[in-house]
Amino acid sequence: MARQKGIIKLDGTIGDITFYKSQDGYLAREKGGVSADRIANDPVFERTRENGAEFGRSGKAGKLLRNSIRALLQNASDSKMVSRLTTEMVKVIQEDITNPRGLRNVIDGEADLLEGFEFNINGKIGNTIYAPFTATIDRVAGTLTVNIPAFVPINMIAAPGGSTHFKLVSAGSEIDFENETFVMDSNESGVLPWDANPTAVINLSNTVTANSTHPLFLALGIEFYKEVNGLMYPLKNGAYNALALVKVSGL
């Protein structure tokens, strides 16, 4: 893969060279490679097929997780979040010590490895919320909770320029990766002023199936607003909103 330079940017194919535009700019690459039929049948490519199967399974699992918290993701994600999450899902699957290569899956892997995953690389929870909080998952009761003691927003929230208010959001998700279904519950604080007045204690509790046998995920996020004439407007279309998996309970 090569990067195109110059005033004129090409898009299309000339001979064996394909020119195209990506998020990284205008690029060029040479056509070629092994045929799909050979990859699918040649014993030499057995490892390739195994890796491909697990990568596909990782992508599907990542999509299911994203769909389960889609309402929050619409306000807090970066352009490469999907590929980053797929990469982490591959690591989860590779921890499966029950099934052979090519058949490893998220259920028998280590979903806990996803704890700490940031959905918006441009606005991370750890660089945005400095107020201490406790994230807990009670699998028996089916509750996923974030508890935040009272804090002074202007001291404990790193807000982008122009912010006047913020809101904390959470989501608890129970995911059945085998049947590709999920149960999700979300919660949020009110829209709070970003000022020097202490907040009340904030408790964001989310409920899923009690005694679940599926992986559970707890996400915490923050959204920023600007008040204009008494109305709240999302700041920068969510570019600086943070959202992360703060607690994960695998099996």
pLDDT per position as a tens digit, 168-203: 999 999 999 999 999 999 999 999 999 999 999 999
Beta carbons within 8 Å of 174's beta carbon, 6+ residues apart: 142, 182, 183, 184, 208, 209, 212, 214, 215, 216
Residue 239: half-sphere exposure toward Cβ, Cα within 13 Å: 7
The pLDDT of residue 61: 93
Q: Is 144 found in the same domain as 106?
A: yes
Q: Is 99 found in the same domain as 21?
A: no
Alpha helices, DSSP H, located in 95-220:
153-156
Domain hosting 132: range is 42-249
Q: Is 59 found in the same domain as 27?
A: no
Q: Is 106 found in the same domain as 16?
A: no
Task: DSSP letter for 121, please.
Answer: T
The pLDDT of residue 102: 83
Residues 109-158 pLDDT 10s: 899 999 999 999 989 999 999 999 999 999 999 999 999 999 999 999 99
Amino acid at 183: V
Residue 112: half-sphere exposure toward Cβ, Cα within 13 Å: 7
Q: Is 47 found in the same domain as 24?
A: no
pLDDT-derived band of residue 15, with 50, 70 and 90 as boundaries? low
Q: Is 117 found in the same domain as 62?
A: yes
The pLDDT of residue 31: 63
Higher-pLDDT residue of 49, 212: 212
Calculate Rg over the CA atoms of the chain.
22
- Number of domains observed in the structure of the chain: 2
The pLDDT of residue 235: 83
Average pLDDT, the chain: 87
88: how many CB neighbours lie within 10 A of its CB? 16
Q: Is 229 found in the same domain as 211?
A: yes
Q: Is 219 found in the same domain as 97?
A: yes
The pLDDT of residue 240: 86
Higher-pLDDT residue of 85, 44: 85
Q: Is 190 found in the same domain as 97?
A: yes
User: Are the beta carbons of 216 and 185 closer than 8 angstroms?
Assistant: no
Q: Is 25 found in the same domain as 69?
A: no
1: how many CB neighbours lie within 10 A of its CB? 10
pLDDT over 60 (residue 10):
no
- When pLDDT is averaged across residues 221-241 and rounded to a whole number, the result is 88
224 has which bridge partners? 166
Q: Is 153 found in the same domain as 201?
A: yes
- Examine residue 1 and state whether it is found in any structural domain, yes or no: no
pLDDT over 60 (residue 4):
no
pLDDT over 80 (residue 26):
no
Among left, alpha and beta (phi > 0; psi -120 to 50; other), residue 4 is beta
- Examine residue 178 and state whether it is found in any structural domain, yes or no: yes
Higher-pLDDT residue of 92, 47: 92
The pLDDT of residue 51: 67
For the chain, give the percent of residues with pLDDT over 70.
81
Q: Is 48 found in the same domain as 32?
A: no
